[in-house]
Structure 1
Amino acid sequence: MGVSKRLKRVIYDTSILMLLYEGVPVFEESASLLLSKPECVIPRQVRDELKKLAGTASSIHRRKAAHLALEAIRKMGCRIVDVDADNTDDAIIAIVMSDPEAIVATADNELRRRLREIGLPNIYYRRSRHGLMLEGA
């Protein structure tokens, strides 16, 4: 069985959810890449970052993107997960390390680098394609 067929949950980070505002259908493309309808998982830290951006981001674009992401999380019925971690990336890595059926979706190059170093596949945003790609699966 291929790696993508065993992946049943996608852990979305802030950067990938903010792309919804640019018209990137992150939930649909994740499902297409995994050949299934994966469960949407959001670390509490990601939700908190989005709430903060929705209220205090310096640009109207970022505030609107954060509002749209929060609304999408609600509409998709994403599960909010509490993780004891020092920061958002550590929370995401803690979740994916403890769940062999989970994969991270991110547009954050530093988080992608950390996932590659650990040997974990990820879904990432490819600007030239204006879409998501699967790496390491």
Structure 2
Amino acid sequence: MAARWSRNCELNRSIVVLLDTSSLMAIFQTGVDLVSAAKDLLPGRVRFIVAEDTLVELRRLMKRKSPSVSKAAKAAMKFAEGLEVVKCQSKRGDAAIVEVAKKTGAIVATTDRGLRKQLRDLGVPVIYPRKGKRGEIEGFHNLL
């Protein structure tokens, strides 16, 4: 599995980062910007993608009665519309993120601790918030 992520790091290629719903929402709800963190932490070009299920989840959140959640989901959806969307095989939530990460060899950006642990156990590199609004990466340095 490690070879897949190390191939992703060749100098002439982009490093692919998969944004989950929590990472997109955090930008607009709390100011935690894992997109900027990824650009700062990773060498070379970074390309961002989203799972198809993430867009479904954002649409569902846009219909929430909470104005803050709805507003953040709309902003996150607008941001995500400019990204490459990767289809999933009928999996939902965390399972979709795991599937897309395995399929694409992407590093996953998330604020979800449970998902982070699951990805760590599978050997998938993760970008997550640490100490306020700063991002940190785990599982990537071993592959360089």
Per the alignment, residue 109 of structure 2 pairs with: 105
Q: CA deviation at 1:41?
A: 0.8
> What is the aligned length?
131
Map 1:2-81; keep pairs closer than 5 Å. Answer: 6=9, 8-21=15-28, 22-55=30-63, 57-74=64-81, 77-81=82-86
Structure 1: which 5+ residue stretches go unaligned? Answer: none
Q: CA separation of 1:81/1:99 partners in 2, compared to 1, >3 Å: closer, same or farther?
A: closer
Over the matched positions of the two proteins, sequence identity in percent amounts to 31
| Residue identity opposite 1:17 in structure 2 | L
Residue deviations 1:34-88 (CA, integer Å, cap 9, x gap): 1233111111100110011012x242111111111111123xx200111114312
Give me the whole-angstrom Cα distance separating, in 1, the residues matched to 2:45 and 2:73: 24
| TM-score relative to the length of structure 2 | 0.81
**Is the Cα contact below 8 Å between 1:11 and 1:105 reproduced in 2?**
yes
For residue 132 of structure 2, what is the aligned residue in structure 1? Answer: 129
Contact between 1:20 and 1:68, CA under 8 Å: does it hold in 2? no
Q: Secondary structure at the match of 2:74?
A: helix
Tell me the distance in 2 between the aligned counterparts of 1:37 and 1:26: 15
Structure 2: runs of 5 or more not aligned: none
Q: Could you tell me how far apart the structure 2 residues matched to 1:114 and 1:134 are?
A: 15
Contact 1:42-1:78 within 8 A present in 2 as well = yes
- Partners of 2:133 and 2:50 lie apart in 1 by 23
Structure 1 letter corresponding to 2:22: S
Number of the residue aligned with 1:84: 89
Q: Tell me, in whole angstroms, the C-alpha distance in 1 between the residues paired with 2:124 and 2:31.
A: 27
Tell whether the 8 Å contact from 1:16 to 1:125 is kept in structure 2 after alignment: no
Name the CA distance, whole Å, in 2 between partners of 1:9 and 1:92.
Answer: 13
Within the candidate set 95, 116, 122, 1:118 is matched to: 122
